[in-house]
Chain A
Amino acid sequence: MSVKRKNSHENTVTGKEHPAEREGVKKNIYKNVIELRHIIKRFFIGQPNELEILHGIDLTVKEGEFLSIVGESGSGKSTLMNIIGALDRPTEGDYFLDDTDICKAKDKKLSEIRNQKIGFVFQTYNLLARQTALSNVELPMLYAGIRKPERIERAKELLSLVGMGERMEHKSDELSGGQKQRVAIARAMANNPSIILADEPTGSLDSKTGRLIMDIFHRLHEEEGKTIVFITHSPELAKETERIVTLADGVIVDESRGRERLGA
């Protein structure tokens, strides 16, 4: 695989050539995958300790974009991620994910959205212990009702894509952190989601392994044209993405362009 970085990080900001455009997906180039309008999230509503974490977030993510959300602890990063990941609903505001109104969706619908449109990559991998890499990758497809032969074929493809083709039958507790995260990325890709939502994916890894994982994300973005929302507290990693959204005290305080990845 050759990593073609070029000016891709500038695209959303500058309007120059986008990787997805390069791939020939022109018709959807400007399509908004994520549309957050004035999102407010409150907890303990009506109680004396009522707390407002997000104070009106407006954010749009276009298809094929590689975006990072940075912020200190307590800035509302995780709350925002939960809303983007359809794990939680905002108290006020509108959220459209791939034209689906998340705020109005019932629990069952949210499950479907998570299954079909979102690929999660967690800091702590969250692979199912005692199960092989292959069955971990199969899982979202199982929930999607895909038949076993297809599931296995696709899971094998994805594991090969992240360089885990040789370790498909290994149980997750027999894998190293970096290997686990690669399996988790393959799993996130299983149902070909609209976005990959990565929450501190390198947070538990040493810098060398973290680098490898970041390379995989770049590859998915550039070669597969994936939309990636990357949540991190590391400004260094954030700079590798196309756009950096900085969150502080529940509001977006800064939006800036990223820069070229080091060593690319």
Chain B
Amino acid sequence: MLIIENIKLAFISLLANKMRALLTMLGIIIGIGSVIAIMTVSSSLTTSISNTFQEMGANNVTVGLKERSTSSETTQNGMKFGGMNKTASIDAEDRITDEMISELKSQMKDNIDAIALSESVGSGTVKSGSDYANITVTGINEDYFESNDVKLLAGRHIKTSDLEGMKNVIMVSDKVVDNMFDGDPDAALGEKISVSIDGTYYYYYIVGVYEYEESSFSSSTDEDVTTSAYIPITTGKAQTHTDDGYTQFTVVTKATVSDVSTFATQIENFFSTYYMSNEDYKITTTTLESMTESLNNTIQTVTIAIAFIAGISLLVGGIGVMNIMLVSITERTREIGTRKALGAKNGLIRLQFITESVILCLVGGVLGIVFGFALGAVAAEILGYAAAVPVLAIIVAVGFSMVIGIFFGYYPANKAAKLNPIDALRYE
């Protein structure tokens, strides 16, 4: 009953000094607003990233070589200390072999749908007269597109026969076609292109054109954009004279595998027998889940750091609230004296002023949430993400405004509660 009366009273006294209340709230509005804006942007970014990753395939497990930690060795061995050549180069015996992969495939055939292999061949430029297009050439196997979905505009994917015959065929993006063949994918099919990689010219026949999807992270101009081009991995290896075997590959799991992370651990265990005696390298797996998680963690850390800085303005806002509450209590000393004379206990006076301060902060907090979300939505729109409502942040913001109200309202309210009724009544 008293709480309702107190809330009513708080609104009456805030409305009596509208301008003052609004200015006091401004600190809270800006504080909560900036935290919510940052949270909105961050939450939009996180949602957008996880959607992108989901599109890329949530069932993929990337298996790769990872250098074993050598820090203890480095400190023990003075010769190696500070040596730049410490990072062991990947030798032929470190690489993942075709045998290991086929063994993996046969052992876990119930869970593995496809194994996508890829090996970077290098970055180069397709040139013909004054026309040019930047590409990065990647050697792939026939399963590669199981894990990396692309939309084929013309022609076909890389086939098993291309791999077996080490054919000089290439899949290019529509950007290359735009630059070199006036944007006609069909006209590009069967054309021979020369690609210069590290000063060496390689020739390929275009067998397929895929649609290049603009990544949210790239920002180069349309003309200069570097797109991927795919050749049979066998062809690539022959051209670059790299060792047999792979440094990484992607396992596409069957849809029946529900827990990709556990399956990834099984793959790691499978390889641990091969790499037990390898001093330099071991096998680690990365799932999209873990990648998303680590990326989200990074975003979250940055968000928290920025929100913390924004939170400082909340502190300033809170001090403003405390200040105005002290002024209000001085102004209303006689009122406090009267209330005490009429039988209000100290606790009730305290409650009255804390309620007032909480209401002040809550109204500020709600306005801040609206303002912050609007700001965040605009920012997300500009950055090109769909605005997501940071529900947790809103709940926390409301809770936090109440806490500020209580924390910064307590001292003034307590001061009011402890006023001597005689002095308070006599106050001019």
Q: Do A and B come from one complex?
A: yes
The residues of A with any CB-CB pair to B shorter than 8 Å are 82, 85, 87-88, 107-108, 111-112, 114-116, 120, 122, 126-131, 139-140, 142-145, 147-148, 187, 191
Contact A116 B12 (CB under 8 A): no
| Separation of A114 and B288 alpha carbons in the complex (Å) | 71
Contact A82 B344 (CB under 8 A): no
Partner of B343, one of A82, A127, A128, A140: A140
Contact B425 A122 (CB under 8 A): yes
Q: With both chains docked as a complex, state the minimum distance between the C-beta of B68 and any C-beta of chain A, in angstroms.
A: 71
Partner of A115, one of B2, B337, B338, B343: B343
Contact B422 A111 (CB under 8 A): no
Q: Does any Cβ of A come within 8 Å of B276's Cβ?
A: no
Q: Does any Cβ of A come within 8 Å of B348's Cβ?
A: yes
Contact A148 B1 (CB under 8 A): yes
| Separation of A131 and B2 alpha carbons in the complex (Å) | 16
Within 8 A of A (CB), among B328-346: 334-335, 337-346
Contact B340 A111 (CB under 8 A): yes
Partner of B342, one of A115, A129, A130: A115
Give every chain B residue within 8 A of A187 (Cβ-Cβ).
Answer: 342
Most buried by B among A107, A143, A187: A143
Q: How large is the interface on B (under 10, 10 to 19, 20 to 34, 35 or more residues)?
A: 20 to 34
| Separation of A211 and B2 alpha carbons in the complex (Å) | 38
Q: Quick one: closest B residue to A148, CB to CB? A: B1
Most buried by A among B5, B342, B345: B342
Partner of B345, one of A111, A116, A122: A111
Q: Does any Cβ of A come within 8 Å of B421's Cβ?
A: yes
Most buried by B among A111, A116, A126, A142: A111
Q: List 12 A-B contacts (CB under 8 A).
A: A82-B422, A85-B341, A87-B340, A87-B422, A112-B345, A114-B341, A116-B343, A122-B338, A122-B425, A126-B341, A128-B335, A191-B343
Contact B425 A126 (CB under 8 A): yes
| Separation of A114 and B422 alpha carbons in the complex (Å) | 13
Partner of B338, one of A88, A108, A128, A144: A128
Contact B342 A120 (CB under 8 A): yes
Contact B342 A140 (CB under 8 A): yes
Contact A87 B345 (CB under 8 A): no
Q: Quick one: closest B residue to A138, CB to CB? A: B5
Contact A144 B12 (CB under 8 A): no
Give every chain A residue within 8 A of B339 (Cβ-Cβ).
Answer: 128, 139, 143
| Separation of A1 and B338 alpha carbons in the complex (Å) | 31
Q: Quick one: closest A residue to B418, CB to CB? A: A107
Additional A-B contact list (14), CB under 8 Å, known A87-B425, A114-B340, A187-B342:
A87-B422, A108-B345, A108-B346, A111-B343, A114-B342, A114-B343, A115-B344, A126-B334, A126-B337, A129-B335, A130-B12, A130-B16, A145-B1, A148-B1
Contact A144 B343 (CB under 8 A): yes
Contact B12 A112 (CB under 8 A): no
Which 10 pairs across A and B sit closest by C-beta, in order of nearness?
Answer: A115-B343, A126-B338, A143-B343, A111-B345, A140-B342, A114-B343, A87-B421, A120-B341, A87-B422, A143-B344
Q: Quick one: closest A residue to B340, CB to CB? A: A111
| Separation of A187 and B338 alpha carbons in the complex (Å) | 11
Within 8 A of A (CB), among B2-40: 2, 5, 12-13, 16
| Separation of A85 and B425 alpha carbons in the complex (Å) | 13
Give every chain B residue within 8 A of A127 (Cβ-Cβ).
Answer: 338
Q: With both chains docked as a complex, state the minimum distance between the C-beta of B423 and any C-beta of chain A, in angstroms.
A: 10
Contact B346 A107 (CB under 8 A): yes
Give every chain A residue within 8 A of B334 (Cβ-Cβ).
Answer: 126
Q: With both chains docked as a complex, state the minimum distance between the C-beta of B217 and any C-beta of chain A, in angstroms.
A: 58
| Separation of A128 and B12 alpha carbons in the complex (Å) | 12
Contact A139 B342 (CB under 8 A): yes
Q: With both chains docked as a complex, state the minimum distance between the C-beta of A186 and any C-beta of chain B, in angstroms.
A: 13
Q: Quick one: closest B residue to A79, CB to CB? A: B422
| Separation of A97 and B5 alpha carbons in the complex (Å) | 31
Within 8 A of A (CB), among B47-81: none
| Separation of A264 and B422 alpha carbons in the complex (Å) | 36
Q: With both chains docked as a complex, state the minimum distance between the C-beta of A125 and any C-beta of chain B, in angstroms.
A: 9
Contact A143 B422 (CB under 8 A): no
Contact B346 A142 (CB under 8 A): no
Q: With both chains docked as a complex, state the minimum distance between the C-beta of B419 and any C-beta of chain A, in angstroms.
A: 12
| Separation of A202 and B16 alpha carbons in the complex (Å) | 30
Q: With both chains docked as a complex, state the minimum distance between the C-beta of B291 and any C-beta of chain A, in angstroms.
A: 61
| Separation of A114 and B346 alpha carbons in the complex (Å) | 13
Q: Quick one: closest A residue to B344, CB to CB? A: A143
Partner of A131, one of B12, B342, B346: B12
| Separation of A80 and B425 alpha carbons in the complex (Å) | 15
Q: With both chains docked as a complex, state the minimum distance between the C-beta of B21 and any C-beta of chain A, in angstroms.
A: 14
| Separation of A232 and B253 alpha carbons in the complex (Å) | 96
Q: Quick one: closest A residue to B13, CB to CB? A: A130
| Separation of A191 and B342 alpha carbons in the complex (Å) | 10
